[in-house]
Structure 1
């Protein structure tokens, strides 16, 4: 147990919900400016030309090596591992014993007995805990986010996406660009420097993620931007990059299911009071005294297609029961244009205005939860929202009861904060009702 742990934090408060709501503000992408040009032009680039994103600073790189490395991941992840081999990657999804979501990330099979998990800290934390306490024959090392670490990261990590992404990468690589399947990776050379190239994509557009040693970061960035200049390349700032997840159908930063239940106590004692989990924040109109009401499951997040029940893993029994008759599922909510405009118009009228809608992402906390209603009945939770210029729409991802999940279903989103415990990062405001229409996930055509 650490000298000061998440368990100490939990025990120090009468209400975990009140604690999480008392924390204002959130810096999701350290060392990346809000905008390089304008967020609209940056959004347009991934749909019309090519965009460049710097992902070097907001994710943890966590390496696991050893004879039991694959067993460790298989024991924890909902995913299947048949056919998983060096040179391939997968979106790793992790749940607690009750089947509630812990975290996710991209797992890279680097070589025999060598793996890397890249993503927000929640996933690496859960895996590291089991690596240290579960008797596995593995060694681990990690490179923290730039919000925590002193000095630069070990590796840069960049991404290009959009209709011109392939042409840009063909131009900059020394020799032919490898014909990679989705979520396959290989080493290439760019200006004589070794780069690992992963076939990937966000915002429903084709693209590549690539990385290498930090000392090559400036040279590789310059080469990509020079090659993309004639093709209209734009660098993504934090605002436009943050909106891409909503368009893609990825729910970023749900509250990790670690704050309650005796079975998670050992993990809370292991987690430091300096961990991300100990500093989480929540905002939005959904209001419950029970922190577990803010939890979601992999099934609810749309990851059922990734779950393999042919192997044992943490949370299997609970997820197997849920998958047989799921109560909720992931949808996109398309906000009514007029209702959204009315919230803006309230700023110019007498009386308390509605809660300001930051464009493109109204991001005021690590996790966001707005109540989704059918009449007066709460039937779901809406998470991060985003305005997408390419579709001229305000949308959000929501977990709703399956009876309300058909495209075209009309629901109401309550926009605002509970009066008795408003997140301090949110201004005083009057609650508002936003009419929404259920749409598919992802919202746009997937061109990856």
Structure 2
């Protein structure tokens, strides 16, 4: 990094400072890789090779221990946490009283009375204060490195040996990184890329040396270092709605929660000043929220326990009205947006390749209509270099959420010039490659993938 870099006062705490990294950037107050090996190569990596990403590092791991730790997570989550095997991961979805998603994230059960939540808002820490349960809560800074793609297993075998082949989907195991004298490093078979994927996690002070060890093992196989610029493309292709990208957490509507976050929390005054992007009025914060059913997570809701928001979610389960789909945007209309940059007068809002708004981006909401009537909300415009299409997640009325149906996305920011863009409902997820849970890791060869065109 050059000495005149405006981010030079920030410290890289999770990865080494590689001289060949294309760009580092200040992301949410920390220095992260923005573009590692070129966004096109990075966006191909989880389909044709593998990537190494550190984007989730820096958020504290929350540990919940004690006789009522399980009850705390049960009271907050739509999931049944009483059938949760020790040593397994679970995606916990935590709603508010109105049934909107306040928080979600990966959690691990370590023992009968021991749980951890990763890369997530401290919603459970906040709610524990009012529930009055006997739970010991502590926060620990950790690194989280994601290794994803068809050759990710080969990378890990090169580094750790054949024992990693036996790790099942959602499983967790302790590992030792050659050359790194550190305890409490674990490997988990989980990821957001849709394809075979893993996470390596441990105390943040060991992050740079662990990242380097993984990268050296993967470089002969063409591993790419994935930065924030391209990161959300995999969520969109793989059909994983993401807090802060596809939707905003309703936790941000709770002033006491924001007060607990202090200066590290978001400035929700932007809701009043018009800074929230998209063609839907920024004062319409509700358009940026989602329920579990609206993002296709309603199947996780188990009504065999009491949890915050149960009444609202149970009512929606009986009468669901919207779901999330993939929209493929019309190429000619997208090109019109690009062409307007060369015309006189007000141009259309330009796309940032590969993701608009640049990730991590929260609160983007574009109106979706059918024959002039509102039918849904579209989030984030993502250019998939693999499929050569512009894609987005859109929460649509069920009657319109039919593959092949054509709707209109109103592209732009509220109060400015808006471009109607035709879009077609496509399969969700859009990615048509073998998913992580279906890959047989006990074999020796990586599957050959061919893209849908």
What is the TM-score of this pair, normalised by structure 2? 0.82
Give the Cα separation in 1 of the matches to 2:403 and 2:391: 14
8 Å contact 1:286–1:370 — kept in the other structure?
A: yes
Give the Cα separation in 2 of the matches to 1:87 and 1:52: 24
Structure 2 counterpart of 1:169: 156
Give the Cα separation in 2 of the matches to 1:444 and 1:351: 38
Give the Cα separation in 1 of the matches to 2:317 and 2:58: 32
* Cα distance change on mapping 1:164 and 1:175 into 2, 3 Å: closer
**1:318-350 deviation line (CA, Å, top 9, x unaligned):** 111101111111111111111111101111122
8 Å contact 2:58–2:143 — kept in the other structure?
A: no
Give the Cα separation in 2 of the matches to 1:29 and 1:38: 23
Give the Cα separation in 1 of the matches to 2:29 and 2:197: 20
Is the aligned partner of 1:323 residue 2:317?
Answer: yes
Give the Cα separation in 2 of the matches to 1:390 and 1:288: 32
**1:323-380 deviation line (CA, Å, top 9, x unaligned):** 1111111111111111111101111122211101101001154221000011221110
8 Å contact 1:413–1:434 — kept in the other structure?
A: yes
Structure 2 counterpart of 1:115: 115
Structure 1 counterpart of 2:446: none
Is the aligned partner of 1:298 residue 2:287?
Answer: no
Count of aligned pairs: 398
Structure 2 counterpart of 1:432: 419
Q: In structure 2, the residue corresponding to 1:372 is in which secondary structure?
A: strand
Is the aligned partner of 1:255 residue 2:252?
Answer: no
* Cα distance change on mapping 1:109 and 1:83 into 2, 3 Å: same
Task: Kindly state the Cα deviation for residue 430 of structure 1 after the two structures are TM-superposed.
Answer: 2.2
8 Å contact 1:173–1:189 — kept in the other structure?
A: yes
Structure 1, gaps ≥5 residues long = 1-25, 144-153, 420-428
Which of 197, 207, 213 lines up with 1:217 in the alignment?
A: 207
Give the Cα separation in 2 of the matches to 1:259 and 1:236: 28
Structure 2, gaps ≥5 residues long = 1-25, 437-453
Alignment of 1:348-363 (within 5 A): 348-363=342-357
* Cα distance change on mapping 1:120 and 1:28 into 2, 3 Å: farther
Q: In structure 1, the residue corresponding to 2:425 is in which secondary structure?
A: strand
8 Å contact 2:279–2:410 — kept in the other structure?
A: yes
Structure 2 counterpart of 1:276: 265
Q: In structure 2, the residue corresponding to 1:243 is in which secondary structure?
A: helix
Alignment of 1:75-154 (within 5 A): 75-121=75-121, 124=122, 126-143=123-140, 154=141
Q: In structure 2, the residue corresponding to 1:84 is in which secondary structure?
A: coil
Structure 2 counterpart of 1:67: 67
* Cα distance change on mapping 1:28 and 1:327 into 2, 3 Å: farther
Give the Cα separation in 2 of the matches to 1:161 and 1:293: 32
Q: State which drifts further: 192-201 or 104-113.
A: 192-201
Structure 2 counterpart of 1:236: 226
Q: In structure 1, the residue corresponding to 2:316 is in which secondary structure?
A: helix
* Cα distance change on mapping 1:179 and 1:321 into 2, 3 Å: same
Which of 429, 443, 447 lines up with 1:442 in the alignment?
A: 429
Q: In structure 2, the residue corresponding to 1:359 is in which secondary structure?
A: coil
Task: Kindly state the Cα deviation for residue 293 of structure 1 after the two structures are TM-superposed.
Answer: 4.1
Give the Cα separation in 2 of the matches to 1:130 and 1:352: 47
Task: Kindly state the Cα deviation for residue 269 of structure 1 after the two structures are TM-superposed.
Answer: 8.0
Q: State which drifts further: 273-282 or 181-190.
A: 273-282
Q: State which drifts further: 292-301 or 403-412.
A: 292-301
8 Å contact 1:415–1:433 — kept in the other structure?
A: yes
**1:66-85 deviation line (CA, Å, top 9, x unaligned):** 11111100011001124312
**1:239-263 deviation line (CA, Å, top 9, x unaligned):** 1113222112222212222566xxx
8 Å contact 1:361–1:386 — kept in the other structure?
A: yes
Q: In structure 2, the residue corresponding to 1:283 is in which secondary structure?
A: coil
Task: Kindly state the Cα deviation for residue 447 of structure 1 after the two structures are TM-superposed.
Answer: 2.2
Q: State which drifts further: 190-199 or 334-343.
A: 190-199
